[in-house]
Amino acid sequence: LGGAADTLREGLLAGNRRALARAVTLAESTHPEDRAEARDLLGALPEPEGTLRIGLTGAPGVGKSTFIEAFGLYLARLGQRLAVLAVDPSSSLSGGSILGDKTRMDKLARHPSAFIRPSPSGGATGGVARRTREVIRLAEAAGHGTVLVETVGVGQSETLVAELTDIFVLLIGPGAGDELQGVKRGIMELADLVLVTKADGTLAQAAELTRAEYQGALRLMRPRPGDPDGFPRVMAVSALQDSGIPEVWLAIDALAAHRRATGALRARRGAQAVAAFRREAGHLLLEQFRADPASAARWQAAEADVQAGRLSPEDAAGRLMDRHD
């Protein structure tokens, strides 16, 4: 590393907040020099040891920010240093970004142990995954050993967050049996923990009913091999009354400890990395192939033929690649 990069790396490893912010800015930049510097920096970081990556998703209005703030403050009181990152692949379209308004997590944002980073706007899903993966690594290197990755669930973002984290948490509101605020297909399948929010006051009973209903639904699915009994688990929480928060941490900690002890956590991270490598390598190969305008035009024509049923997928792919040889 060069002199400036070395200074940045040392600041990062010392837990310096400004160094972390600067490194994250480099990782999120689209300038080739910044990207190269970020890549060099990431390559010079030690392996993260004992960190925990928790993904969280939930529909708007479910009380996600309120929960994350209460949960984060609880972890900070336990002496943990944490990072809260947001993933929103749609932010290039909406112009806004979740977590953009830091006042949503006012107390947590001012806490010295917490590093909060809104979702960067712009870029395709692949870019979001790459950047988020890098920011996780940077935050961990700066000593933020517990990383919360939040998404509102636009497009494929929950799947993306699940593929970047060790444990995945779904938040739902009380009375979520109501189809209008139902859960997107496929997401319940990813959840290790389902949290029913707002379990207080007049909603306490509805929250308990919802909890039982979801626990029943999850029981109908085959448990994940290797996970301890009782997971996936459904719990009711109230950020307002600060109730259920320690229990959520105990559950997450127990599941993480189990997955660490069995090697499942390390295996999951390894598999996530290999899958990302394959996607990236395949993506780069396609990019190289389609960088040639004639190849790109033939690709488009082949897709149109396949879409309309004029050519079988296998036939079209074979013809496209044979001519490329």
Contacts to a copy of itself by CB under 8 A: 39, 42-43, 47, 130, 133-134, 137, 176-177, 179, 182-186, 188-189, 213-214, 216-217, 219-224, 269-271, 273-274, 276-286, 288-289, 299, 302-303, 306-309, 311-318, 320-321, 324-325
103 exposure class (CB count in 10 Å sphere: 0-12, 13-18, 19+): exposed
Q: In angstroms, what is the minimal distance from the CB of 38 to a copy of itself? A: 10
Q: In angstroms, what is the minimal distance from the CB of 29 to a copy of itself? A: 14
Smaller CB distance to a copy of itself: residue 43 or 293? 43
Q: In angstroms, what is the minimal distance from the CB of 297 to a copy of itself? A: 14
Q: In angstroms, what is the minimal distance from the CB of 281 to a copy of itself? A: 4
Q: At what angle do helices 125-141 and 3-13 cross, to 10 degrees?
A: 70
Distance CA 207, CA 277 (A): 41
Structure tokens at 240: 């307002």
- For 119-132, letters b (16+ CB in 10 Å) and e give bbbebebeebbbbb
Smaller CB distance to a copy of itself: residue 182 or 201? 182
Smaller CB distance to a copy of itself: residue 111 or 137? 137
Smaller CB distance to a copy of itself: residue 155 or 318? 318
Dihedral angle computed from the Cα positions of residues 317, 318, 321 and 324, in that order, rounded to the nearest 10 degrees: -130
Q: In angstroms, what is the minimal distance from the CB of 211 to a copy of itself? A: 12
Smaller CB distance to a copy of itself: residue 21 or 320? 320
Smaller CB distance to a copy of itself: residue 134 or 166? 134
Q: Could you tell me the CA-to-CA distances from 40 to 8, 26, 276 in Å, in that order? A: 11, 11, 19
Structure tokens at 199: 């379990």
Q: CB of 12 within 8 A of CB of 23? A: yes
Q: In angstroms, what is the minimal distance from the CB of 166 to a copy of itself? A: 14
Smaller CB distance to a copy of itself: residue 18 or 184? 184
Cβ partners under 8 Å of residue 54, min gap 6:
146, 147, 148, 149, 165, 166, 167, 168, 169, 252
* Single-letter amino acid code for the residue at 177: G
Structure tokens at 103: 């006042």
Q: In angstroms, what is the minimal distance from the CB of 27 to a copy of itself? A: 11
Smaller CB distance to a copy of itself: residue 246 or 318? 318
Distance CA 205, CA 269 (A): 39
Q: In angstroms, what is the minimal distance from the CB of 217 to a copy of itself? A: 4
Residue closest to 27 by CA, chosen among 139, 164, 143: 139
